Amino acid sequence: MSTMVDPGPEAPEAPPVEAKPPTRLGDLLFSKVSLVSGLIVILFLAGVGTFLLIQGLPALDASGEATYGEPDIWKFVGMLLYGTIYASLIAIVIVTPLAVGLALVISHYAPKALAKPVGYLVDLLAAVPSVVFGLWGLEVLAPKLLPAYKWLNEHFSWIPLFDGSVNSRSLLTASIVLALMALPIVTALLREIFAQTPRAHEEAALALGATRWEMIRLAVFPYARSGMVAAILLGLGRALGETMAVAMVLSATGTGYLTLSIISAENPNTIAAFIANNYANASGDKINTMIFAGLALFLLTFVVNFAGRWIATRGQNKG
Amino acid sequence: MTHTEIAAPQEMAIRAGQLPRAATLLTVVFAVAIGGVAGMLLGSGFAVMVLLAWLVFLVSLTAWSTAVEGRRKATDRLVNALVWSTFAVAMMPLLSLLYTVIVKGGPVLTPSFLQSDMTGFASLGQGGGIYHAIMGTIMVTAIAAIIAIPVGLFTAIYLVEYSAGSRLAKVITFLVDVMTGIPSIVAGLFALSLFIVLTGDPLPRLGLGGGVALSLLMIPTVVRSVEEMLKLVPDDLREASYALGVPKWRTIVKVVLPTAVAGIVTGITLAIARVAGETAPLLLICGTFPEANWNPFSGAVQTLPVYIYSSLNGTTDAKYGDIWTDRVWGAALVLIIIVMALNLIARIIGNIFAPKTGR
């Protein structure tokens, strides 16, 4: 989609043969340098795959000590994948309504003069480093959430989500921080998409007497549907790979527990947080195990991001 | 609520009933009163009062509007309130975060904190500073920039100026998309495995590795933003230059790049800001070190984000004393200031020199 725009002047190719073109060393050099840069990008990514495979594959027959007490590498990665996906899904459940609302504020609800500052504030949220988010989540957010968790546990412990012994550094706390970190990117994508709704559709709806909400439901949302799905998937990809917030906020030991509870002390662990927290004491086989887990995370985020982009371009071609 | 009922049953005119202009304000006052009283009766905290007031506001506004204006208008008002609520919910953590970091980190920021390192200090207790960590962050980020800016810039030039629509360009565009989604910790693992193979050291720790990992995260951002900016340059300018017989490379250097320079600088500064706050890859490949290490080719390099993380992790779980946490908040404040300053610079450059075309 992005390469089609410039049908481009191919000037140096064009001159007729008889007028011998001057040898342009600069041109040759410049085009080769840019070509090589493009190839470096390819090489870089191929390198990521290759070196992760070289260092990760030896972990395939790891067991016992090297897989942190799990019987084999698949159980080890499986446990961590469960935690990674579970935490990110909760984060996405939190972030989706927030981001849709926030994007609507910027694209449709806020008056023109206010829309830009609101956009800046959301961008400011994106500028906060993840380690600071983690620090804040641990020191400020977690203690504040504890009373709510206690209340939920008291009244709704029959729902598996709110079962177990309450802890402030639970999966839900980590997911809330993850949601905050995914919020700016999802909002930014959504507001671009909402803003692309044809003005004529919106005005037609309003002219027929629709209220603002009916206009959004009937003109904006149908137009933006595939873009919304794509934006949420890309946000999910971001949440899956986020490391520091979870590593600092979540209290999980080893590969964690296979539990549904989101407010207890016994939590599943995520791949990225596991690596960050256990790397310092790792050596030998354990390094391979971690790199293998990283490879799994890479593949997972790749699939999610790819799905997001595929839906986005498919929607564009159709629309 | 009662006095407005008088206004509603007017004669059935062509206009449907409408809430008075101050309706929202009245409902807010009503909701706050109910929420406050109910909260006090229940003996609950401030957060519960706010939550109650919010619920009362939503319900009463909708109910009132349904009674006077009908269901459609009521839904519209409800959605309006909900949409603005999301804005409030999103801003609360941001404000709380900035407030906490400034209040807790401000007093820690003394000249000696910025000028001394951690030689001879344990990660627990008082004393020491972050000089070495600031220098490490600057060095590693600079290495990343030195690798990523030329590669990203020339890749974007290749994509826009040389290979529009070719198969290789499509492959590169796709791979740049893939790179955008690489989790930061995977970039760290890549640098780690690369330098395990290159140096033969089973646990390599070096600044160059951090630079490589960060450049992997930076390249896609640079390519994307430069590509966008180059596409904004009108083809007329290029064609005018060719018509004068200027070679293609001089057209790019003298015409295309200067036209797009503001956007390019903005994009690159934002990319630097993004990686300056990265923690995970540096944790794996740069490690921690109590003093400044200016040699990127060997030895651990302390960086600010890792300093925050490793000082926090120095004790078991959440049992930190205040004295010891203070230093962490100071470091967090400095890191936020650096990243925000880069963002601000980028915006200012973008605003001042923005090309008049496009959005």
Tell me the per-residue pLDDT of A187-242, one tens digit each, with 9 for 90 and over. Answer: 988 988 888 888 888 889 889 988 888 898 888 888 888 888 888 888 888 888 88
Residue A316: pLDDT band with limits 50, 70, 90: low
Tracing tokens 């989540």 back to the chain, one arrives at A137
Q: Which of A7, A310, A228 is nearest to B174 (CA)?
A: A310
Q: Is B333 exposed, middle or buried (0-12, 13-18, 19+ CB in 10 A)?
A: buried
pTM: 0.83
* Neighboring chain B residues of A133 at a CB cutoff of 8 Å: 97
A2 — pLDDT class (breaks 50, 70, 90): very low
Residue in A40, A54, A294 closest to B197 by CB: A54
Q: Rounded to whole angstroms, how far apart are CA atoms A37 and A209?
A: 55
pLDDT value for B358: 46
Residue B121, sorted as left (phi over 0), alpha (psi -120 to 50) or beta, turns out to be beta
pLDDT at B15: 64
> Cβ of B227 and A2 within 8 Å?
yes
Q: Give the one of B163, B202, B318 whose C-beta lies nearest to A283's C-beta.
A: B202
User: What letters, b where the CB count within 10 A reaches 16 and e where it falls short, cover B73-111?
Assistant: bbbbbbbbbebbbbbebbbebbeebbebbeebbeebbee
| Whether A45 and B93 lie within 8 Å, measured CB to CB | no
Residue A79 has pLDDT above 60, yes or no: yes
Of residues B101, B178, B248, nearest to A12 (C-beta): B248
Q: Which residue has better confidence, B11 or A288? A: A288
Q: A 160-179 residues with CB below 8 A of B?
A: 169
Q: Closest approach of chain B CAs to the CA of A34, in angstroms?
A: 5
Structure tokens that stand for B117 in this block? 């390192």
Q: Do B172 and A287 touch (CB under 8 A)?
A: no
Widest pairwise Cα distance in chain B = 90
pLDDT at A56: 82
* pLDDT score, position A10: 47
Query: Of chain A residues 82-111, which have a CB less than 8 A from chain B?
Result: 97-98, 100-102, 104-105, 109
Q: Which amino acid is at A273?
A: A
Name the residue facing A213 among B79, B89, B339 (closest C-beta). B79
What residues in B contact A144, CB-CB < 8 Å?
Answer: 47
pLDDT band at B314; cut points 50, 70, 90: low
DSSP secondary structure string, B235-251? HHHHHHHHHTT--HHHH
Confidence check: pLDDT of A166 > 80: no
pLDDT averaged over chain B?
A: 80
From the list B72, B168, B192, which residue is nearest A38 (CB)?
B168
User: Measured between CB atoms, which of B47, B155, B273 is closest to A41?
Assistant: B155
Note whether A310 contacts B: Cβ–Cβ < 8 A: no
Which residue, A7, A27, A36, is CA-closest to B158? A36
pLDDT digits (tens, 9 = 90+) for B93-112: 888 988 988 988 888 787 77
* Residue in B155, B168, B181 closest to A302 by CB: B181
Residue among B176, B196, B343 whose CB faces A127 most closely: B343
Task: Give the model's pLDDT for residue A96.
Answer: 92
- Is B178 in Cβ contact with A244 (below 8 Å)? no
CA A127 to chain B, closest CA, distance in angstroms equals 7
| CA dist list (Å): B148 to A238, B46, B190 | 21, 49, 16
Alpha carbon distances (Å) from B13 to B8, B9, B17, B18, B293: 11, 10, 9, 12, 81
Lowest mean pLDDT among A81-85, A88-92, A125-129, A160-164: A160-164
DSSP type of residue A64: G
Asked whether the beta carbons of residue B90 and residue A169 sit closer than 8 angstroms, the reply is: no
Check residues A253 and A230 and name the one with the higher pLDDT. Answer: A230
DSSP state of A66: G
Answer yes or no: is pLDDT of A5 > 50.
Answer: no
The confidence band for B1, taking pLDDT boundaries of 50, 70 and 90, is very low
Mean pLDDT computed over B110-121: 72
Q: Looking at A137-151, A235-249, B292-306, B316-330, which range is the least confident one?
A: B316-330
Residues of B in contact with A297 (CB under 8 A): 183, 185-186
Is residue A269 predicted with pLDDT exceeding 70?
yes
Residues in chain B with CB shorter than 8 Å from the CB of A38 are: 154-155, 158-159, 163, 168-169, 172
Q: Which residues of B touch A180 (CB under 8 A)?
A: 90, 93
Fold of B115-353: MetI-like fold (1.10.3720)
Lowest mean pLDDT among A21-35, A278-292, B7-21: B7-21
Residues of chain A with Cβ-Cβ distance to B86 below 8 Å are 97-98, 100-102, 105
Q: Do B181 and A237 touch (CB under 8 A)?
A: yes
Does the model's ipTM exceed the 0.85 cut? no
Q: Which residue has the higher pLDDT, A105 or B16?
A: A105
User: A29-33, A163-167, B171-175: which has the minimum mean pLDDT?
Assistant: A163-167
CB A73 within 8 A of CB A292: yes
Look at A318 and B252; give whichever has higher pLDDT. Answer: B252
**Would you call B309 and A134 a contact, using CB atoms and an 8 Å cutoff?**
yes
Q: Mean pLDDT over residues A140-164, rounded?
A: 80
Quickly tell me which residue has 């960060």 as its tokens. B214
Interface contacts (A, B; CB < 8 Å): 309
Q: Among A226-235, B85-94, B162-171, which stretch is predicted with the lowest mean pLDDT?
A: B162-171
Best B15, B46, B49, B87 member to test A by mutation, with max A CBs in 10 Å, is B87
Output the furthest CA–CA distance in chain A (Å, rounded). 90
> Would you list the DSSP string of A226-295?
HHHHHHHHHHHHHHHH--HHHHHH----TTB-----SSBSS-B--HHHHHHHHGGG--THHHHHHHHHHH
Parts of chain B belonging to CATH 1.10.3720.10: 115-353
A22 to chain B, minimum CA–CA distance in Å?
Answer: 10
**Percent of chain B at pLDDT exceeding 90:** 6
Contact of A239 with A145, CB cutoff 8 Å: no
For residue A74, pLDDT over 60 is answered with: yes
Domains delineated in chain A: 62-318 (1.10.3720.10)
Tens digit of each residue's pLDDT (9 = 90 or more) over B242-294 = 899 888 888 888 888 888 888 888 888 888 888 888 888 888 888 777 777 77
Residue B324 pLDDT: 59
Pick from A30-34, A105-109, A251-255, B348-352: least confident = A251-255
More confident residue, B313 or A147: A147
Residue of B nearest to A184 (CA): B90
